[in-house]
Amino acid sequence: MRITLGLDSTSLTRRYPRLAVLATLFMAFVAPLGLYIGALVFFPLNTPERLDAMAKQWLGFDLAASHYRHLVYAVFLLLVAFVAVNFTAVFGGVSTWVERRVAGRMQSRIGPNRTSAAGFLAWVADAVKMVLKEDTVPASADQLLFRGAPYFSMVGLLLPFVVMPFGESVVATNMNVGVFYIMAVTAFVVVGILISGWSSNSNWALFGAVRGAAQVISYEIPAGIALMVPVLMAGSLSMQDIVRAQGGMPWDWFVFRNPAAFVAFFISVTSSLAEGNRTPFDLPEAESELVAGYHAEYSGFRLAIFLMVEWANMWIMAGLAVTLFLGGWQVPFVASETYKAALGAGLVPTPSWFGLQALSMLVFSLKTWGLVIVFIWLRWTLPRVRVDQMMSLCWKYLVPGAFLCFVVTLLWQLLVPPLGNTVTGVVLSLVAFVLLAKFLLATYRNIGRVKGDRVDLTNW
Amino acid sequence: MPMTEALREYFGHITDVVKTFWEGMTVTLSYMVRRPITVQYPDRTAQRVADTLPSRYRGLLEVDINVCTGCMACERACPISVIKISTDKDPSNLKQRVIAQFDIDESKCMFCGLCVEPCPTGAIQHTREFESTMKSVDNLVFRWIPDPKNPAPFYRPVKGQDAPRAPVGEILRQRMAKADWTARGGIFPVTGPERKG
């Protein structure tokens, strides 16, 4: 007699292979699609004026005059928050699976491939395991702070989603100080790290926390100055305005618009890696030295939150870089001003607005995922740097470099006519294209260097 | 000129970083399109893993009872008394001696191969089978006479002829294939004397 639990995924997938494929497809496409549709519906509606207008148009109800209008607004705010929180959780989970599969392949392994089709649901299994584990608090820890630390990290992760532009109009709030706001609130993560390290009453955790604080505070400077470059080029701190100042094609992206921005892009990505504690800058949790660093004493759900923050932070880092340097949600061949003019003149049908939103969200997500995969790829390429190397990289190279980019951009904006921007954009994007081709060629040649190796995509 | 030297060193570091990034990233990316060396044992291999082992691999013991002479040389040879054989007379034909019990406790066997050497007909052999996980350890007592009421007659070797032994591993594989590893006493039913220890 065989006893199987309902949650025993191995036996379930053995018995019903189609069920496994269906569950995988559901989790891989339908659930994220639901989140995207939620974002598409709730994010643009999230202003009192639009809600009032919608209530008047569709329900014939004057919401603005109602006593309960703040309640309705609050409900919509909660819906937006719900979508954002779930988005981070699902993204954090899926990225762990992507990371493990990419890492496996890069190390000539396979990675998790048994839980459901292609092992995709491994992240759900991990999350369930984490949640079911006991949440212990060390006896000598500062109870309140120890329990409270994950909330700070979580808040630091979630707040940037308020201004993260997912699509043409799909943004929770178009804040006019968006970039500044993101720089300010991401510091919450390090507050959580410091609190957790201090309250754990453990040497390893305290070392990790102090390292984290030193690292994040140092790298705020080059990151902030490098982020000023696209701000200067767009003349606005609002994330949406910065995207609107760019275009859909690569030569319209800020990264190629002037040479200083090209350098600033790399400075900004390096600094955000350091701020997000990603390898090669994961010193706060260097497992060879500090066990697990600031979250060494955590277990169960609170540890799950720390890990989720760490992985979901990749979306913030990548999304910020995509928004500021890589054209954000700008759809190639569809300029949003031209589209708006056409919509106003009645040249295109109104439902196509949703099409544009969906397309722009797709473009933004693809670019962001691409950058996330580059982060993962970097992690499995580079060894961890030492503390002194990290500090010298920041203060000797990134800070002067960022200042130089800043000054060059100022002069460029003053001295170079708009045509110069376009010419530079075309030239630099061509250079980038040639470099990419050379890179892929070098990669292909590397395969032949090992005797008997060739391009072979089997054994998944 | 210490100033230019310092500058050269400074910018040399930057070019080093760019070059080593380029080199390292091409190497790691190239592994994305190579075949991982992982063998996906047990269920996603091109062949059964037991079939890929060398022919002299000492796996689970197998007895072809049809060519067993009942000489008990293997039982005597076993240094740890893993093999238990008892013989009897056929009640219907008192001249014919039969093997009433031939048990091998594979859970104790240390795969030394000393039982295989004295066997005159090659009835007892090591196979290449090694996957012997059972939910109950009693299942690892392999009973080559499954039913004591149905004993096997002694085999008489014919001079100048090899004993017609079944291919090594066939019998064991057939019995293992039918087996449910979670069952208790399913493969080789526990009907004989109680297992010691």
Q: Is the pLDDT of residue B196 over 50?
A: no
Residue A452, classed as helix, strand or coil, is: coil
The answer on B127 and B31 residing in a single domain is no
Q: Determine the pLDDT at residue A404.
A: 92
A1 touching B, CB under 8 A?
A: yes
Q: Is B70 left (phi over 0), alpha (psi -120 to 50) or beta?
A: left
Q: B195: pLDDT confidence band, cut at 50, 70 and 90?
A: very low
Q: How confident is the model at residue B183 (pLDDT cuts 50, 70, 90)?
A: low
Q: What is the pLDDT at residue A14?
A: 62
Are B28 and A442 an interchain contact pair (Cβ–Cβ within 8 Å)?
Answer: no
Take residue B165 and report the two structure tokens written for it: 């032994």
Query: In angstroms, what CA-CA distances link A396 with A382, A389, B11, B92?
Result: 20, 10, 11, 100
Indicate whether B182 belongs to any domain.
no
CB-nearest to A456 from B13, B21, B34 is B34
**CB proximity A140 to B under 8 Å:** no
Q: Which residues of A touch B40 (CB under 8 A)?
A: 110, 459
Number of domains chain B is built from: 2
Find the domain containing B72 and state its range.
50-159
Same domain, B97 and B155: yes
The pair of three-digit structure tokens given for residue B12, joined into one six-digit string: 């040399």
Q: Find chain A residues with C-beta within 8 A of B22's C-beta.
A: 439, 442
Is position B165 within any domain?
A: no
**B33 plus B79 within the same structural domain:** no
Residues B18 and B79 in one domain: no
**Choosing among B30, B32, B38, B184, which should be mutated to test the A contact, i.e. which has the most A CBs within 10 A?**
B30
Q: For residue A372, which of A272, A441, A303 has the smallest C-alpha distance?
A: A272
- B88 plus B3 within the same structural domain: no
- Phi-psi map region of A346: left, alpha, beta (phi>0 left; psi -120 to 50 alpha): left
* Among the listed residues A276, A335, A348, the one whose alpha carbon sits nearest the alpha carbon of residue A306: A276
CA distance B191 to chain A (A): 20
**Do A181 and A238 form a contact (C-beta atoms < 8 A)?**
no
pLDDT in tens, B108-141: 899 999 999 999 898 999 998 888 877 777 778 8
Which pLDDT belongs to residue A8?
43
Q: What is the pLDDT along chain A (460 residues), one digit of tens a residue?
A: 344 344 444 556 566 777 777 877 887 788 888 888 887 777 777 777 777 777 777 777 777 777 777 887 888 888 888 888 888 888 888 899 999 999 998 888 888 887 777 778 888 888 888 888 888 888 888 888 898 888 888 888 889 888 888 888 788 888 888 888 988 888 888 888 889 888 988 888 888 888 888 888 888 889 889 989 999 988 889 888 888 888 888 888 888 888 899 999 999 999 888 887 787 888 777 777 788 778 888 888 888 888 888 888 888 889 999 999 988 888 888 777 777 777 777 777 777 778 888 888 889 999 999 999 999 999 889 888 888 888 888 898 999 999 999 999 999 888 888 888 888 888 988 999 999 999 999 988 888 887 777 777 777 7
Q: Cα separations (Å) of A153 from A83, A180, A268, A301?
A: 19, 19, 21, 13
Residues B24, B55, single domain; the answer is no
Do B126 and B83 have their domain in common? yes
Residues B64, B153: one domain? Answer: yes
- pLDDT digit string (tens) for A354-413? 888 888 888 999 999 999 999 999 988 988 888 888 888 889 899 999 999 999 999 988
Are B33 and B95 within one domain?
Answer: no
Tokens matching residue B113 = 């191969």
Which residues in chain A have their CB less than 8 angstroms from residue B21's CB? Answer: 381-382
Q: Is residue B66 part of a domain?
A: yes
CA A125 to CA A119: how far, in whole Å? 10
| pLDDT attached to residue A6 | 41
Q: Does residue B94 sit within a domain?
A: yes
State the pLDDT at residue B19.
Answer: 92
Under an 8 A CB cutoff, do B28 and A456 touch? no
Chain B closest-CA separation from residue A406 CA (Å): 19
Q: Which residues contact B96 (CB under 8 A, 6 or more apart)?
A: B89, B90, B153, B154
- Express each pLDDT in B70-107 by its tens digit: 889 999 999 999 999 988 888 888 888 889 888 888 88
Residues in A 43-102 with any Cβ partner in B closer than 8 A: 102
pLDDT of residue A9: 47
Cβ count within 10 A of residue A411: 11
Q: Would you say residue B169 lies in a domain?
A: no
Report the residue of A11, A15, A99, A106 to disrupt the B interface, i.e. the one with the largest count of B CBs within 10 Å. A106
The predicted pLDDT at position A12 comes to: 60
d(CA B116, CA B109): 13
Q: At B93, phi and psi to the nearest 5?
A: -140, 95
Residues of B in contact with A443 (CB under 8 A): 26, 29-30
* Position B56 in a domain: yes
Band (B152; pLDDT cuts 50, 70, 90): confident
Q: What is the ipTM of this complex?
A: 0.78
* B13 contacts A401 by C-beta, under 8 angstroms: no
Determine whether the interchain pair A459/B38 forms a contact, defined as Cβ–Cβ distance below 8 Å. yes
CB pairs under 8 A between A and B: 67
Mutate to test the interface with B, among A14, A107, A441, A459 (most CBs of B within 10 A): A459
> Do B2 and B57 fall within a single domain?
no
B22-52 core/surface letters (b: 16 or more CB in 10 A; e: else): eebbbbbbbbeebbbeeeeeeeeeeeeebee
End-to-end CA distance of chain A: 33
How far is Cα A453 from Cα A447, in angstroms, rounded to an integer?
6
A456: contact with B, CB 8 A cutoff: yes
Q: Is residue B118 part of a domain?
A: yes
* Residue in A102, A104, A446 nearest the CB of B30: A446
Helix (H, G, I), strand (E, B) or coil at A246: coil
- Three-state secondary structure along A57-114? HHHCCCHHHCCCHHHHHHHHHHHHHHHHHHHHHHHHHHHHHHHHHHHHHHCCCCCCCC
Q: Beta partners for A186?
A: none
Chain B residues closer than 8 Å to A105 by CB = 31-32, 36
B146 in a structural domain: yes
How large is the angle between the packed helices A69-106 and A122-132, nearest 10 degrees?
A: 110
Judge if B76 and B155 occupy the same domain.
yes
B32:A102 CB<8 A:
yes
Q: Where are the domains of chain A?
A: 1-132, 140-416
Tell me, yes or no, whether B8 and B84 share the same domain. no
